[in-house]
Amino acid sequence: MRPAPFAPETLRDIDLVLATHGHADHLDPGTLGPIAAANLECLFVVPASCAALARSRGVPAGRLVEAHAFALLEVAGVAIHPLPSAHEELAIDDHGRHLALGYVADLGGVTIYHSGDCAPYPGLADNLSAFDVDLGLLPVNGRDAERLAGGIPGNFSLDEALSLAESAPFGAAIGHHFGMFDFNTIDEAAARAALAARSAGPAFVLAEEGLRYAVSASRRQPSAPSARIRP
């Protein structure tokens, strides 16, 4: 629906790339290789279930870090807690590894949760309850039977993302994953109007291209998750 805002090889001083699952709009061969070539010290964290796929799409084997649900990673000075994500459902491979992960990352005292592609599942809020998330990054393009029948698994609706932000709770949240494919987007005007009409709950905005967001820590540091939700 729009051109890429910049070429991936123009991204410099990148220490760490986190990929949440193997779909090409998240593990993109046209992006990974150029970033790796332009940032020779950059490390790439991917679910262990798609490590071979990541290598085939341009991630150097020696700079690949495999992530497993609930196994803490310390990478490039960042504490990363991988959590299961349900891209419509909680799916695992033949080795019991989750196909989709989200990440809670402690970045200099600021705690950010990126769910990756995810829909609600029992226990998600419990998995997040051990972390005081300052900022949640959540897809809001929703899901329906027609898209699923066409091989397009979905994500949170805007209402479901709002509910998670409130129940977790997050300090604030940004909704994203829209405006790229015309068959898998949202009515942005209606969504922004719905957000503007809210009178309570954490700050929640839709991502806008070209903006820079400042995030400050307001709560305690994260601890290990107390609940482990598995398929």
Look up the CATH number of the domain holding residue 181: 3.60.15.10
Is residue 224 included in any domain, yes or no? no
pLDDT at 151 over 90: yes
pLDDT at 75 over 90: yes
Over residues 21-68, the pLDDT tens digits come to 999 999 999 999 999 999 999 999 999 999 999 999 999 999 999 999
The reported pLDDT for the residue numbered 219 is 55
Secondary structure class of 145 (helix, strand, coil) = helix
| Beta carbons within 8 Å of 74's beta carbon, 6+ residues apart | 80
Is residue 80 included in any domain, yes or no? yes
Number of domains in the chain: 1
**Which residue is it, tokens 């200099």?**
108
Is residue 73 included in any domain, yes or no? yes
pTM: 0.91
Looking at residues 8-24, what average pLDDT do you find? Answer: 96
Residue 20 and residue 47 in contact, taking contact as beta carbons nearer than 8 Å: yes
Is residue 1 included in any domain, yes or no? no
Is residue 121 included in any domain, yes or no? yes
The reported pLDDT for the residue numbered 218 is 65
pLDDT at 118 over 90: yes
**Domain residues for 80?**
68-206
